[in-house]
Amino acid sequence: MSSCFIDTVEDSLTGIYKSIDNFARVSKHGGGMGLYMGKVRATGSDIRGFKGAAGGVIRWIRLVNDTAIAVDQLGVRAGAAAVYLDIWHRDTPEFLQLRTNNGDDRMKAHDIFPALCVPDLFWRLAGTNLDGDWYLMDPHQIATVKGWNLEDAFGPEWERRYWDCVNDPAIDKRVLSVKEMVRLIIKSLVETGTPFIFNRDTVNEANPNSHQGMIYASNLCTEIAQNMSAMHEETPEIMDIDGETVVVTKTVPGDFVVCNLASLSLGHIDVDNDEELRQVIYTVMRALDNVIDLNYYALPYAKLTSQRMRPVGLGTSGYQHLLAKKHIRFESEEHLAYMDDLYERINYHALEASCDIAREKGAYRDFAGSEYDTGEYFRKRDYVSGKWQALAEKIQENGLRNGYLLAVAPTSSTSILAGTTAAVDPVLKKFFLEEKKGSMLTRVAPDLDDTTFWYYKNAHHIDQNWVVDAAAIRQRHIDQAQSVNLYVTPEYTFRKVLDLYLRAWEKGVKTIYYVRSQSLEVEECESCSA
């Protein structure tokens, strides 16, 4: 009953193949996977002291790609994986060309979705000093020389370590300008819609469970943000059990992320009736929490993490459907104010429901010391009203059942079944044909009539600054992340695309999913075409 998994790939032959095996087992049962490969040594790194022996991450990513094709979920669909890499990793330029159509095909992985983990420092330089240098380094060499891992820090501590590495002559650097890095990213975005972007400092600074670890990456659809750590195997032991010789290998499980998702269909709920909204959320939160105990887990590591942190991901679909029914234009301050209030109420009811379940069944294991426990979660989000303070005190007294609560998934197929719009996206068009599994589906904006017609605006015709601003408004109330797509047209310049990403970072958006570009060879306004 779970769809989203994330694994941290250890920098060892055993660890890499273990993660690939984990992906195969997850894919077999229909799950998508996020793989963080930021710990894997770069091309030309040493292996057991032999210089230049390492082949880098691209070779391993190709194995993940082949696994996705081979383990095809009973022929229904191919396996799917997103691979995350830090933007300072020495293999990043090649990583950004995984899906492009030019270059050496031996360095391609067309079925993998690349994603970049980007620190605040890079965005600051991209906004102020595009001609400045950006240093790419090997995580293994850093660990060998420094005795610590650069990827294990975030925020000011990461920055201090980064400059320490840059200034250390014992660490090899591959130097590109910030502008060259941005060009590689935007070229890939325009050609392939990827890489997904994971703003690692923003994510970790908002992590309510930072007392128990950190978040390196997200999942296949960029909406999950939970503590992660790599599993590792201890040296095998030869043992005699009941007169039979066996080889026993012990695996230390780490944090193998799994999340259980459901979405509120906003267009089908009377969200202005707060009691109805509360009852729906209470029902969904209890159902999601039950899934954790009733679930079949393809991997025991997933079960361990799930039952310890009890994470759930309550999301939303029917976003523009709701706006159209309320006669609120997407490009308006009214939209932002309305959704700010709505998502605050969704968050409030989700927390209250989780607290009530905790009082009945017990809190998640690592609640003590979390930002929910200390109250820092509420202060960071400026939840200072009497209502919120009363809830914070209630949570401190009873705990929370779930370590993570909200995550907005893409809901593409499920929104079709529910007769609503997908996730938080605007509609592509008011009416169009969409191909699904070789068949053509007629798609019409839900509840389309003479009163809602003018409140549906095609995604590519919307000023994308409003998409970013809306994501930022919602993000304050979402403890994990969102699948946020950007819709660009050929008139978008390099600078305009960069400005969208800078705006998202500055406003605290944690992740950006696809960039969906469109060729406007034939421009026709369907609103006026009749």
Express each pLDDT in 415-438 by its tens digit. Answer: 999 999 999 999 999 998 888 777
Whole-number pLDDT of residue 72:
81
SS3 state of residue 515: strand
Q: Which of helix, strand or coil describes residue 145?
A: helix
pLDDT of residue 520: 42
What does the alpha-carbon distance between residue 79 and residue 22 come to, in Å, rounded to a whole number?
12
List, for residues 252-294, the tens digit of each pLDDT value. 889 999 989 999 999 999 999 999 999 999 999 999 999 999 9
**Distance (Å, whole) CA 137 – CA 89:** 5
What pLDDT does residue 525 have? 55
Write the class of the CATH domain 4-238.
alpha beta
Tokens of 126: 């991209």
Question: Fold for domain 256-484?
Answer: Anaerobic Ribonucleotide-triphosphate Reductase Large Chain (3.20.70)
Cα 114 to Cα 243: distance, rounded to the nearest angstrom: 50
Q: Which of 221, 259, 347, 458 is catalytic?
A: 221
528 noted as active-site residue: no
C-alpha 460/C-alpha 470 separation (Å) is 16
Q: pLDDT value at position 506?
A: 98
> 3-state SS of 169-206?
CCCCCEEEEHHHHHHHHHHHHHHHCCCEEEEHHHHHHC
Quote the CA–CA distance of 102 and 195 in Å, as a whole number: 16
Tell me: the pLDDT tens digits for 15-66? 999 999 999 999 998 889 999 999 999 999 999 888 888 999 999 999 999 9
pLDDT tens column, 238-260: 988 888 999 888 888 899 999 89
Mean pLDDT across the chain: 94
pLDDT of residue 104: 84
pLDDT value, residue 51 = 86
pLDDT recorded at residue 526: 55
- Long-range contacts of the stretch 11-16 (C-beta < 8 A, 24+): 11/39, 11/40, 11/41, 11/139, 11/140, 12/232, 14/232, 14/233, 15/230, 15/231, 15/232, 15/233, 16/40, 16/60
Residue type, 415: S
Which residue would you say has higher pLDDT here, 402 or 525?
402
In this structure, the number of other CB atoms found within 10 A of the CB of residue 312 comes to 28
Residue 223 annotated as catalytic: yes
- Collapsing DSSP to helix, strand or coil, 423 comes out as coil
- Any idea where the domains of the chain sit in the sequence? 4-238, 256-484
Check residue 441 and give its pLDDT: 85
Instruction: Tell me whether domains 4-238 and 256-484 share a fold.
Output: yes
Q: Give CB contacts under 8 A, 24+ apart, made by 43-49.
A: 43/90, 43/91, 43/94, 44/90, 44/138, 45/138, 45/140, 45/141, 46/140, 46/141, 46/144
Q: Are 488 and 519 a contacting pair, CB within 8 Å?
A: no
Catalytic: which of 223, 344, 347, 458?
A: 223
The pLDDT score that the predictor gives to residue 320 is 97
| pLDDT, position 457 | 95
219 is annotated as an active-site residue: yes
Of 259, 315, 264, which is closest to residue 291 (Cα–Cα)?
259
Q: What is the pLDDT of residue 521?
A: 41
On whether the CB atoms of residues 489 and 179 are closer than 8 A, the answer is: no
In this model, does residue 522 exceed pLDDT 70? Answer: no
Indicate the burial class of 127 (C-beta count within 10 angstroms; 0-12, 13-18, 19 or more): middle
The burial class, CB within 10 Å (0-12 / 13-18 / 19+), for 149 is middle
Rounded to whole angstroms, the Cα distance separating 49 from 47 reads 5
Given the residues 22, 204, 219, 458, the one annotated as active site: 219
Model-level pTM? 0.95
End-to-end CA distance of the chain: 46
Q: How buried is residue 5: exposed, middle or buried, by Cβ count under 10 Å (0-12/13-18/19+)?
A: buried
Q: Is 127 helix (H, G, I), strand (E, B) or coil?
A: helix
> Band of the pLDDT at 329, cuts 50, 70, 90?
very high
Top-confidence range, 104-113, 345-354, 514-523:
345-354
